[in-house]
Structure 1
Amino acid sequence: MDIDEWLKDKVELIKNLEDKLKCVERLQNDVGALEAGLNATVDELTAQKAEVDRLKKENEGAPQIAFSASLANFGEIYKGPCTDKALIYKRVFSNTGNGYDQSTGIFTAPVGGLYFFSFSTYGYNTHIMGAMLMKNGAHQISTYDGPSADGSDSSSNAVALQLAAGDKVHMELWDNGRVFNNLNGHTTFSGFLVFPV
């Protein structure tokens, strides 16, 4: 082999080595970027786990308040028209936190917070059908249907209310109103604490 050929082979070998070195450098940069991305993901997951742990700890101490009740605890009941328009829901499905009083029909907020309430009403066409949700004696929301030609009516409504500890929420009939219930639970009242404030 002559020297020119030998030098040409060496130059080509050096060029190949340089190309491979550049390729290795690119791969090292890619690995570095992947490593930085993985570290960022690990940091984010660590932060999320810390937040989940904080929320768990916070919820462990949070008051648990919820109730759900139906008007009739046996047989059939027509409530109204009457002077005492307060609806007293006797069939209590749940009363966690004991905020609902089944002897008065009043829910008293054990703690201040944002509460969610829902209710449903059912009645026949001979009377006004519906009810009003009252907070500390003031009308908040309602359901309503006047006497009509159809056989019966049902409706429901819901609201989120800011309550202070001791605030009272209850349901009342409309003037000259009437609702019906039986063990099928057509006329109901429920509420729960979303979060304390």
Structure 2
Amino acid sequence: MESRAFLLLSLLGSLFVEPGFGQRGDEDLNEWMKEKEKLMKNLEDKLKIVECQSKTEALGTRLNTTVDELTRQKAEMEKLKKENEGLKTKLDASEKEIDKLKENSYKTAPQIAFSASLVSSGEMYKGPCADKTLIFKRVFSNIGNAYNLNTGIFTAPVNGLYYFTFSTYGYNTHTMGAILIKNTVRQISVYDSPSADGSDSSSNAAVLQLAASDKVHVELWDNGRVFDDLNGHTTFSGFLLFSL
């Protein structure tokens, strides 16, 4: 706009300072005015071109700014994309490692469990006797082979927390009872003295923390007697809850 005003002022100045302006005739004046109008039109056209160029330059500047901003945002997006890809790679690797640890844990975790009753055939009265260890001959299961059916002793293969349960059955002629022994130390027991009823049965259970090679077995109560047959009245069972 300032350029346009300057050009118009210059043109008006030339109208009044041109030599011989007051001495022209009407025809000369008309010609002169036509030339001046033509000149003004040319100037206005040039002004429009200048203004258009200015607007174009301003628009170009704004466009360049927008392009720069878009380029910056695109670069930021690419950076975030790479970071996300890196995080996904780490996450996938962590998940694979966890799955591998789980698989190894399942493979390496010992599976220990056994269950047995006192006799494998016929029937038996056990006790009173000097050797009070009860040897459970009829083995229902012995995963891990930690129970020895020849000695009646369970030997812990690994450090862990173990669950044990035992039951006894006897008649009223003798004390009916038994004791769960860890190594040489009494843990829990069952007991019933002779009474007028025909028979007695009882059971007990415990969770024991064992170190590898610790031994657990069941012994008769002093002067006690138990009975068993293929119905499995007198039993001994145990299993590993989890290793430590």
Aligned to 2:201: 154
Root mean square deviation of aligned Cα: 1.9
Structure 2: how far apart are the matches of 1:177 and 1:158?
Answer: 20
Q: Larger C-alpha radius of gyration, 1 or 2?
A: 2
Would you identify which runs of 4 or more consecutive aligned residues in structure 1 move more than 4 Å? 50-57
The two structures have a TM-score, normalised by structure 2, of 0.59
Aligned to 1:195: 242
Bigger helix share: 2
CA deviations over 1:41-82 (Å, ceiling 9, x no partner): xxxxxxxxx978855542232000111000010000000000
SS in 2 for 1:72: coil
Aligned to 2:124: 77
Question: 1:107 and 2:159 equivalent?
Answer: no
| Alignment equivalent of 2:115, drawn from 54, 63, 68 | 68
Task: Give unpaired runs (5+ residues) of structure 2.
Answer: 1-96
* Structure with bigger RCO (C-alpha 8 Å, 6+ apart): 1
Aligned to 1:123: 170
Change (3 A) 1:85 1:53: same
| Alignment equivalent of 1:93, drawn from 140, 143, 152 | 140
Structure 2: how far apart are the matches of 1:145 and 1:52?
Answer: 52
Q: Tell me by how many angstroms 1:122 deviates.
A: 0.3
Partner AA of 2:227 in structure 1: F
Identical-residue share of aligned pairs (%): 70
Task: Give unpaired runs (5+ residues) of structure 1.
Answer: 1-49
Structure 1: how far apart are the matches of 2:138 and 2:206?
Answer: 22
Structure 2: how far apart are the matches of 1:155 and 1:52?
Answer: 45
Change (3 A) 1:51 1:128: farther
CA deviations over 1:124-172 (Å, ceiling 9, x no partner): 0111101000000110001100000000010100000000000000000
The two structures have a TM-score, normalised by structure 1, of 0.72
Question: 1:144 and 2:191 equivalent?
Answer: yes
Structure 2: how far apart are the matches of 1:83 and 1:111?
Answer: 31
Structure 1: how far apart are the matches of 2:102 and 2:204?
Answer: 31
Partner AA of 1:117 in structure 2: F
Name the count of aligned residue pairs.
151
Bigger strand share: 1
